[in-house]
Structure 1
């Protein structure tokens, strides 16, 4: 009996050894996947490899920022504000601007830098700080052209604000809330075109005309910085926002400054030709006179009796439809044509 038990035990041990050998060596190498199915997936399929993706294609905002940011500048000024009757207080202003010519010509807002500004400093992207000189400024247009003494500077190319459409990409770069947040990039769309915005400058009411409306974030300090399209061309100059609402920023169309910049670079200043009219386009007329309806053109609301328009036969109440063969449905469009002229030139109007 004991002999049979030992024999059975020996057979069991040998069988276990052979079975283990089959499963450990023979089956994985010769049987699994060929004669019998694999009882569990291979180890490599159980482990998930974490693959770090290659750098994504740059976004529109990233590409535009890389292209334009070196040409965006910070601007600080010092103005003296009269306190009481005989005291003056120094007030520091901060804004933005952008270089549009490699020899140091810079566009910004009149409310950032004007003829009363002192100690104008321009902060470049490379860390340099240079004094700025006002070459031309206009409070009505809210535009200023500065000059710094530098060469071979990066520039932002000017686009065409006449070809804009509602819904297209709009990217703003500037210095919101001061130089601590220099060259902040915000992105949105063009929300509307040819907007008019009543504002108060000092104590005087004023209407800004034909503005580009955008929901790209524009805050105090962004003024004077560029509003750009998806190709990195400047299409506007950021100028204002409605503080009682979100996403209501405004920029001056870039086309208005093109003829001015051309003459400033060539002659050092700009003297606007004088037409001798006070004109309203359709958008502005709704603010000025409720009983005036304009469907196209520029309404002549008033006229200088000694000016060239009056001498040419234009009268108050006329509507100017074309200038030099081009339709003019906004005051900006008319000014762009007039500013191309020199005093004494002729302009044909319909």
Structure 2
């Protein structure tokens, strides 16, 4: 049996060695670097700047949390649901959100607000105060929503660039994993994968997701996935967590055009092709018909005076490409359309029989 003294000496040496390695890692810029603001404890607004660049000894995780935490909110909802045995009843839910504008705009998941069907939405702020919120916009296919509280001067999260994220990058998640009893729980890990696709429902696939091994559980939904500079690179979605150690986030660049419109105009106006469509895969299953392509959007109907009708697209055509992106189903078409604004133009490629055709759409 080893002596207690020997165990203490071993532990002491290990602690000293760990400290030395940490100092070396920081001095050699092996720990991620960036400039961060420390929020004022009373107001929540950034007042002091602290650098974790170069020779800084500040722990990167602590600095990221101090910068980001005031802009993370808890979200509680009440929804009326049907019950087979008891009729209608009130169901409560808990999620997380990120403040994206000081005037009260908050980004979260669509499923956090029950895809817009919640009767009541309340926001819990960093200082412990609560306030009712209104759902301004939500999109189930993106699992994103924007809600708003009637206040101003809120601490705003810094949005990063998810196109620059690489596998192996540091990742930090903040949220309420098991309800408000564990509010603002911080978990950390790395970016484990990019461009992941997950089947959510029979007719809904979420694409281009960021995969992380940072723990994400129900209640984390709508919270930020952060990089080493404290910038939001994704919105966590427990709805697409499918296994132990697997977490997924919606890239923040997918939400930026929507957030920008709300900040600039106070509203979001979505563009439309002017069609009613169905996944080609499901149309083939229902009809037994065979087509020259395996994936796409089968056009069931053309809306009068829409962009599609204006350029001569017909019922029965199959959309296979929009802009430079391949269209495999309705979910991908919806996501691509969020990149455009009213008045924009885009090239759309369709298959009519065996002939590929291109049209210039004006939204």
Normalised by the length of structure 1, the TM-score is: 0.70
**Alpha carbons 1:135, 1:268 under 8 Å: kept:** no
The 1:95/1:309 distance shift into structure 2, 3 A limit, reads same
When structure 1 is superposed on structure 2, of 56-65 and 123-132 the one drifting more is: 56-65
Q: List aligned pairs for 1:121-160, cutoff 5 A.
A: 121-160=122-161
- Structure with a larger share of its residues in strand: 2
Corresponding position of 1:66: 66
Structure 2 residue 311 is the aligned partner of structure 1 residue 312: yes
2:298 counterpart of 1:302 = yes
Write out per-residue CA displacement over residues 320-350 of structure 1, whole angstroms, 9 at most, x where no aligned residue: 2x72xxx435889976764354435433457
Superposed displacement of residue 162, structure 1 = 1.8
CA displacement, residues 255-284 of structure 1 (integer Å, 9 cap, x when unaligned): 11111112223333323101256698xxx9
* Corresponding residue SS for 1:66: helix
Question: Any gaps of 5 or more consecutive residues in structure 2?
Answer: 1-15, 24-56, 286-290, 349-357, 359-363
Mapped to 2, the partners of 1:238 and 1:93 lie a distance apart of: 16
Maintained 8 Å contact 1:328/1:334: no
Structure 1 counterpart of 2:228:
230
Q: SS in structure 2 opposite 1:151?
A: coil
Q: Evaluate the alpha carbon distance shift between residue 293 and residue 187 of structure 1 in structure 2; reply closer, same or farther with a 3 A threshold.
A: farther
Quickly say closer, same or farther: Cα 1:194–1:314, change in 2 above 3 A: farther
1:87 aligns with 2:84: no
CA distance in 2, matches of 1:268, 1:330: 30
Distance 1:338 1:80, change over 3 A: closer
Matches within 5 A, 1:241-260: 245-260=243-258
Distance 1:210 1:242 in 2: 12
Tell me which structure has the larger Cα radius of gyration: 1
Contact 1:255 1:336 in 2 (8 A): no
Contact 2:298 2:319 in 1 (8 A): no
Cα deviation for residue 119 of structure 1 reads 2.4
Aligned in 2, Cα 1:136/1:61: closer, same or farther, shift over 3 Å?
A: same
In the alignment, what sits opposite 1:43?
none
The equivalent of 1:104 in structure 2 is 104
1:196 aligns with 2:192: no
Residues 313-328 of structure 1 aligned to structure 2 (within 5 Å): 316-317=317-318, 319-320=320-321, 323=323, 327-328=324-325
Instruction: Determine whether 1:347 maps to 2:346.
Output: yes
Deviations 1:281-338 (A, max 9, x none): xxx98xx99x9989xxxx6432354453465366845642x72xxx435889976764
Q: Distance in 2 between matches of 1:228 and 1:206?
A: 26
TM-score when normalising by structure 2: 0.68
> How well do the aligned residues superpose, as a CA RMSD in angstroms?
3.5
